[in-house]
Amino acid sequence: MAKLKIVKYGDDTLRKTCRPVDTITPRITTLLDDMVETMRAADGCGLAAPQVGILRRIAVVEVEPGEVYEMINPKIIARAGTQEETEGCLSLPGKWGTTKRPMHVTVRYTNRQGEVVEASGSGLLARAFCHEIDHLDGVLFIDNALEVMEE
């Protein structure tokens, strides 16, 4: 496993649309391992592949320690309710914003075994799913934030 460098705001990579993954190669599973390690080392609860310079549709989320979602080609297939909470991003250190997100979401994605699975989350987990999947389309939380605060 290796810790990767996190791309910071201002880098074009964060604004690109990522390509889907067709085949889960050892390179992809290594990337998942490295992304989880990088997210944990940075004390984050999610990380998307473009944040480490890879333009593929891959994201990891860990809101509850040990409960890791490694998502390949994730899609939000259901959403319900709304929440307005503060969020930040490892690519925008020192910035925080209030965003409006669904309270509950269901995500469909391919796991590292190549199986298509679904996961549902509420509250912070729902927000993390939305935030990370937005990254795969070049969308950052500040784009839709009701207000942005700087540390």
Q: Which residues are known to be catalytic?
A: 132
Element (H, E) at 39: helix 26-41
Toward Co ion, which CB reaches closer, 24 or 139?
Answer: 139
Task: Name the residue nearer to Co ion (CB basis): 4 or 89.
Answer: 89
**In whole angstroms, how close is the CB of 40 to Co ion at the nearest point?**
15
| Interface pattern 50-89 for Co ion (x via CB under 5 A) | ---------------------------------------x
In contact, 2 and 37? CB cutoff 8 Å: yes
Binding track, positions 84-123, relative to Co ion; x by CB under 5 A = -----x----------------------------------
Burial (Cβ within 10 Å: 0-12, 13-18, ≥19) of residue 16: middle
Q: Which two tokens stand for residue 133?
A: 């999947």
- Which is nearer to Co ion, 52 or 89 (by Cβ)? 89
* Phi and psi at residue 15, to the nearest 5°: -105, 5
Q: Which helix (H) or strand (E) holds 61?
A: strand 58-62
Tell me the residue nearest to Co ion as measured from the CB: 89
Listed in sequence order, the DSSP H helices in the chain are 26-41, 124-135, 141-144
- From the CB of 128, what's the least distance to Co ion, in Å? 9
- Where along the sequence are the contacts to Co ion (CB under 5 A)? 89
